[in-house]
């Protein structure tokens, strides 16, 4: 519950400044995305001579263009942020490890060493900036001392590949891990994990309803989207979504709708927390959707990251779509980041 | 008494004679090694001269100029130009630190500052394979030694000099430890040998920490000994973790052949940037390794255990074992891995390589397999889109006529110079046929009535007995055996003129050597008795019997042959050649010699 209060407090703090400046709510956010690869031809459209130069963490500028906020060849899988006591931190989960910036992306430090290899996702603790979880091809790692040391947290896990870690919206000791064989949950900060028994292997994505932590949605490699409405006790396959890869799932800020996409699926929408799905958009210019985010202050503003075709966005709830930049990019994650 | 005196006199004469022979022999040996060193010096100078005098804008030309002490101004201006746009990640790191280390005493302060600044402003990617990490961390280690006591703001990764030094050192020691206990992951690669040798040589030449210098030198010995024992006439032989085209069918085109030329004096000179740092290095190949590399008077069997590179998904072990078997003669070598997916994309499970018929001195077969599943075993991206991610950089990966790659549906069983290969390919697999490569440089090819395809390459005779029908397709440099059957296999026999006077004799010997086969799905097996009378029984995937006794490949040591011995977990390698012995003990960082 504390995290929800923090969310509310953030809104209350931001609201007066928004009213005073006359700016819209969205102006108090930046949009970031993590780019893993970029196709050479498309990269040249970005003005980069070398494809590797168009990967990394990008921030959207006021004019709608995207600016690489890190060294320009960081292969990036994910991003995260935390905001405590006036300290804002950005994290990049990348090929060189977990990167952290405390000065809005001006300087960065790699926090992990050689043992963790690629960092596939990052989950900073909502209230304690010294605690961060990361998922890697060799399990979940956790730091409790601000990145100085990392401990492997795998007790109870059968296999070692973990695509994503997510901290529960109400209890920071509860963490979910999307792993090769199942979805795992810990209630004690990663000391021990239990398999939730989704029923199919290769869990690639896990998201929680923004207000109801009993509602969980899991994306799988070969069996579409699974949902649980009882905190992970039971899982059922989402009705209508194709039985293929579901790489990305994104809730609207109010939780009234959720979007999902994957390999050759197009974008799907559910208004009953993942139980039934309807196709709302497809496009031949890409074969997979890797990332979905919804503006937390504008439920109709959706941004989708694709495999090799950059970003698309809709401002009318998915009825019409426009290309939103980063041609050629393989976008792994997109976030609206408050206060940056 | 007279008799006793006579005997003593005789004994003393014989003893003197033996001593004299030993002294002469040692003197001759010393002379031979001196001659080797003189030849090495000539080859090294020849190779580095190509870079010393080159105006090509590369870090290698810069390093050669600094090392030679000539054209310093030119080297300075070239390096400044190069550092305006650093690129190449870990492939940038080692040449730039190498050039710096060779030139730091003579380069201008402006250039020195530019090099330092590049380690602050350019963030190289660490990469995703063992050779990447070896290059990355060794280069970072050497750089951190050069610029100690700097805070994190002065480094591309935000870590201080001390942090970078410590982390890089940890990785290097880890890599050495895992290599000398359960084997190298990217093992025996004709194309990727330099990616390991160069970091180790830079470490041996320039590390300030004596222990790290020693590690560099010992690992250089280790890698070169590993190569020497599977070297034939400039070629790396045996099964490979990673090989690319054209080296797979034109062996001297692989980078390791440049190392064979420099260190063993074999093959042909090959100017490549990958040989520059070895040519500049103070490292000298120990005599014992040189002798192992070039003495092919006696045929031998050499077995090895390596490891699969990190398996991140779909495996029960992170580093499953790889079992290698190589039969070496002066004319040819036949070598194999046990089969299965042991490395992604570029594995070669088995081959014959021979000394005659350059440039295409290889015969081999494979199941040209590809899948997102294979790639996802080793790379963290999504299974369904991984093939498309990989193909831009590995263009033949998803081609049905490709010449490299392992398959989960291929297994081998080798006994000396007899090889039995089985395939059990499920329907719907990419792809559903097997291929064989036969160069047009073969002197003779006979498709006999017995079913054997008989070949001669100089003194080497090769027999290939396909289990199923096949097409024999002429291509530019080779014939391709294409057999479109999913349950399949073949026998390969290799002999030389030491054993058969003519190909007619070889044909005659194999005339009645016909295997019994069962080629049903999930029941692929073969029984075969070779001309020497050895009986091989092989059931796919891993049931092997030799002369009715089970073969336990899982018992293989890290190295087991006449020249190299190492036990799993030992961190020790014993190198033997005649009366010479050299032991590399990584537990104590000591080299002992006899």
Q: Are A152 and A116 in contact (CB under 8 A)?
A: no
Please state, in angstroms and rounded to a whole number, the distance separating the CA atoms of residues B68 and B329: 40
Using a CB-CB distance cutoff of 8 angstroms, which residues of chain A are in contact with residue B391? Answer: none
Which token pair is A97?
């490890």
Which of B143, B196, B90, B170 minimizes the C-alpha distance to A114?
B170
Q: Are A184 and A194 in contact (CB under 8 A)?
A: yes
Which of B358, B132, B364, B420 minimizes the C-alpha distance to B239?
B364
Using a CB-CB distance cutoff of 8 angstroms, which residues of chain B are in contact with residue A138? Answer: 310, 312, 318
- Per-residue pLDDT of B322-378, as tens digits, reads 999 999 999 999 999 999 999 999 999 999 999 999 999 999 999 999 999 999 999
What is the reported pLDDT for A44? Answer: 46
- Per-residue pLDDT of B179-192, as tens digits, reads 999 999 999 999 99
- Per-residue pLDDT of B474-506, as tens digits, reads 999 999 999 999 999 999 999 999 999 999 999
- ipTM of this complex prediction, to 2 decimal places: 0.91
Task: Tell me, yes or no, if B156 comes closer than 8 A to chain A by beta carbon.
Answer: yes
Q: What is the dihedral of CA B322, B323, B324, B327, to 10 degrees?
A: -170
Please state, in angstroms and rounded to a whole number, the distance separating the CA atoms of residues B466 and B414: 16
* All domains of chain A in start order, with CATH: 2-338 (2.130.10.10)
Please state, in angstroms and rounded to a whole number, the distance separating the CA atoms of residues B110 and B144: 20
Q: Among A137, A159, A220, which would you mutate to test the B interface (most chain B Cβ atoms within 10 Å of its Cβ)?
A: A137
Omega prior to A290 cis, within 30 of 0: no
Contacts from A5-9 at CB under 8 Å and sequence distance 24+?
Answer: A6/A126, A6/A127
H helix or E strand, kind and range, residue B36: helix B2-52
Q: Is A221 in Cβ contact with B384 (below 8 Å)?
A: yes
Please state, in angstroms and rounded to a whole number, the distance separating the CA atoms of residues B468 and B463: 15
Tell me the mean pLDDT in the region B9-34.
Answer: 61
The dihedral sign for the CA sequence A58, A59, A64, A65: negative
Please state, in angstroms and rounded to a whole number, the distance separating the CA atoms of residues A4 and B488: 63
- Per-residue pLDDT of B453-482, as tens digits, reads 999 999 999 999 999 999 999 999 999 999
Q: Are B176 and B135 in contact (CB under 8 A)?
A: no
Q: Is B123 in Cβ contact with A96 (below 8 Å)?
A: yes
Task: Name the 3-class secondary structure at B570.
Answer: coil
B136 has pLDDT over 50 = yes
What is the rounded end-to-end Cα distance, in angstroms, of chain A? 24
Angle at B173 between CA B171 and CA B177, to 5 degrees: 115
H helix or E strand, kind and range, residue A94: strand A87-94
What is the reported pLDDT for A186? Answer: 98
Tens of each residue's pLDDT in chain A, 340 residues: 344 444 444 444 434 333 333 334 445 788 988 888 776 554 444 444 444 457 889 999 888 888 888 777 788 999 999 988 888 999 999 999 999 999 988 999 999 999 887 999 999 998 899 999 999 999 999 999 999 999 999 999 999 999 999 999 999 999 999 999 999 999 999 999 999 999 999 999 999 999 999 999 999 999 999 999 999 999 999 999 999 999 999 999 999 999 999 999 999 999 999 999 999 999 999 999 999 999 998 999 999 999 999 999 999 999 999 999 998 899 999 999 987 5
Q: Is A118 in Cβ contact with B123 (below 8 Å)?
A: no
Q: Among B313, B376, B391, which would you mutate to test the A interface (most chain A Cβ atoms within 10 Å of its Cβ)?
A: B313
- Per-residue pLDDT of B41-100, as tens digits, reads 999 999 999 999 889 999 999 999 999 998 999 999 999 999 999 999 999 999 999 999
Total-model pTM = 0.92
Q: Is A96 in Cβ contact with B125 (below 8 Å)?
A: yes
Q: Is B122 in Cβ contact with A221 (below 8 Å)?
A: no
A64 CB contacts (<8 Å, ≥6 apart)?
A324, A325
Q: Who among B89, B167, B380 is closest to A118 (CB)? A: B380
Please state, in angstroms and rounded to a whole number, the distance separating the CA atoms of residues B346 and B247: 11
Q: Where residue B112 falls among pLDDT bands split at 50, 70, 90?
A: very high
Q: Which residues of A touch B (CB under 8 A)?
A: 36-37, 39-40, 50, 52, 70-71, 73-75, 77, 95-97, 99, 107-110, 113-114, 117-118, 120, 137-138, 159-161, 180, 202, 204, 221, 244-245, 247, 263, 287-288, 290, 307-308, 330
Q: Who among B157, B310, B383 is closest to A110 (CB)? A: B157
Distances (CA, A) of B472 to B360, B457, B469, B480, B481: 18, 19, 10, 6, 5
| Range of lowest pLDDT (A89-98, B15-24, B207-216) | B15-24
């Amino acid at each position: 519950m504390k995290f929800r209060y923090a969310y509310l407090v953030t809104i209350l703090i931001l609201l007066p400044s928004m009213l005073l400046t006359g700016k819209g709510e969205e102006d108090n956010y930046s949009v970031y995305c993590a780019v893993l690869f970029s196709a050479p031809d498309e990269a040249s459209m970005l003005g980069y001579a070398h494809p590797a130069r168009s990967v990394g963490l990008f921030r959207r500028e006021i004019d709608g263009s995207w600016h690489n906020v890190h060294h320009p060849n960081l292969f990036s899988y994910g991003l995260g942020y935390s905001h405590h006591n006036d300290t804002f931190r950005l994290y990049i989960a990348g090929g060189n490890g977990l990167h952290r910036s405390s000065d809005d992306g001006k300087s960065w430090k790699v926090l992990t060493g050689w043992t963790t290899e690629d960092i596939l996702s990052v989950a900073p603790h909502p209230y304690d900036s010294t605690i961060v979880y990361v998922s890697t091809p060799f399990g979940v790692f956790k730091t409790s001392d601000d990145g100085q040391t990392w401990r492997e947290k795998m007790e109870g896990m059968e296999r070692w590949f973990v695509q994503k870690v997510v901290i529960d919206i109400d209890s920071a000791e509860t963490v979910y891990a999307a792993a090769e064989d199942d979805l795992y949950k810990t209630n004690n900060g990663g000391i021990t994990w239990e398999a939730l028994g989704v029923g199919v292997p290769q869990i690639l994505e896990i998201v929680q309803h923004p207000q109801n932590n009993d509602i969980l949605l899991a994306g799988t490699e070969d069996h579409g989207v699974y949902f649980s409405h009882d905190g992970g006790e039971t899982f059922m396959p989402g009705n209508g979504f194709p039985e293929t890869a579901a790489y990305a799932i994104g809730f609207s800020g109010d939780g009234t709708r959720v979007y999902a996409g994957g390999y050759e699926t197009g974008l799907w929408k559910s208004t009953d927390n993942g139980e039934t799905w309807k196709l709302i958009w497809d496009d031949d210019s890409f074969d997979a959707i890797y990332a979905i985010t919804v503006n937390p202050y504008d439920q109709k503003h959706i941004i989708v990251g694709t495999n090799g075709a950059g970003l698309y966005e809709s401002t009318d709830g998915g009825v019409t779509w426009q290309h939103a930049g980063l041609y050629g990019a393989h976008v792994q994650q997109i976030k609206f980041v408050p206060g940056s | 008494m007279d008799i006793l005196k006579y005997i003593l006199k005789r004994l003393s004469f014989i003893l003197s004679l033996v001593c004299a022979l030993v002294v002469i022999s040692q003197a001759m040996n010393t002379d031979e090694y001196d001659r080797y060193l003189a030849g090495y010096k000539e080859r090294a100078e020849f190779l580095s001269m190509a870079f010393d005098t080159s105006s090509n804008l590369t870090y290698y030309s810069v390093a050669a100029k600094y090392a030679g002490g000539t054209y310093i101004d030119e080297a300075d201006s070239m390096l400044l130009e190069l550092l305006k746009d650093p690129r190449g990640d870990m492939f940038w790191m080692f040449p730039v630190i190498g050039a710096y280390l060779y030139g730091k005493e003579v380069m201008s302060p402006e250039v020195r500052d530019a090099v330092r600044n590049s380690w602050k402003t350019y963030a190289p990617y660490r990469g995703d394979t063992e050779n990447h990490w070896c290059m990355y961390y060794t280069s970072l280690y050497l750089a951190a030694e050069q610029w100690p006591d700097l805070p994190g703001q002065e480094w591309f990764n935000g870590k201080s000099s001390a942090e970078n030094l410590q982390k890089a050192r940890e990785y290097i020691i880890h890599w050495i430890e895992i290599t000398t206990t359960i084997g190298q992951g990217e093992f025996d690669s004709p194309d990727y040998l330099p990616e390991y040798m160069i970091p180790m040589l830079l470490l041996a030449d320039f590390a300030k920490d004596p222990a790290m210098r020693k590690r560099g030198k010992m690992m250089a010995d280790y890698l070169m000994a590993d190569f020497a024992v599977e070297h034939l006439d400039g070629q790396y032989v045996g099964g490979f973790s990673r090989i690319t085209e054209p080296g797979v069918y034109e062996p001297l085109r692989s980078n390791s052949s440049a190392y064979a030329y420099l260190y063993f004096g074999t093959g042909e000179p090959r100017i490549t940037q990958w040989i520059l740092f070895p040519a500049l290095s103070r490292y000298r190949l120990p005599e014992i390794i040189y002798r192992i590399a070039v003495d092919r008077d006696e045929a031998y069997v050499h077995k090895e255990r390596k490891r699969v590179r990190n398996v991140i998904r779909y495996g029960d072990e992170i580093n499953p074992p790889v079992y290698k078997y190589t039969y070496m003669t002066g004319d040819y070598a036949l070598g194999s891995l046990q089969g299965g997916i042991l490395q992604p994309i570029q594995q070669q499970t088995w081959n014959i390589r021979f000394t005659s018929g350059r440039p295409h001195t290889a015969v081999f077969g494979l199941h040209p397999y590809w899948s997102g599943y294979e790639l996802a075993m080793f790379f963290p991206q999504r299974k369904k889109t991984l093939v498309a991610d990989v193909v831009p950089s590995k263009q033949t990966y998803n081609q049905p006529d490709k010449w490299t790659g392992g398959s989960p549906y291929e297994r081998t069983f080798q006994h000396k110079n007899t090889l039995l290969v089985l395939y059990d390919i499920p329907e719907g697999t990419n792809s559903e046929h097997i291929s064989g490569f036969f160069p047009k440089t073969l002197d003779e090819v006979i498709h006999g009535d017995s079913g054997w395809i008989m070949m001669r390459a100089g003194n080497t005779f090769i027999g290939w007995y396909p289990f199923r029908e096949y097409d024999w397709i002429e291509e530019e440099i080779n014939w391709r055996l294409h057999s479109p059957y999913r349950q399949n296999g073949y026998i390969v026999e290799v002999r030389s003129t030491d054993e058969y006077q003519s190909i007619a004799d070889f044909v005659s010997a194999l005339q009645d050597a016909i295997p019994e086969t069962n080629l049903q799905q999930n029941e692929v097996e073969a029984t075969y008795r070779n001309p020497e009378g050895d009986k091989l029984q092989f059931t796919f995937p891993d049931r092997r019997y030799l002369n009715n006794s089970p073969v336990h490949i899982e018992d293989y040591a890290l190295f087991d042959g006449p020249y190299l011995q190492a036990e799993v977990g030992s961190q020790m390698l014993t190198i033997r050649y005649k009366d010479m012995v050299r032991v590399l003990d990584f537990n104590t960082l000591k080299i002992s010699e006899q």
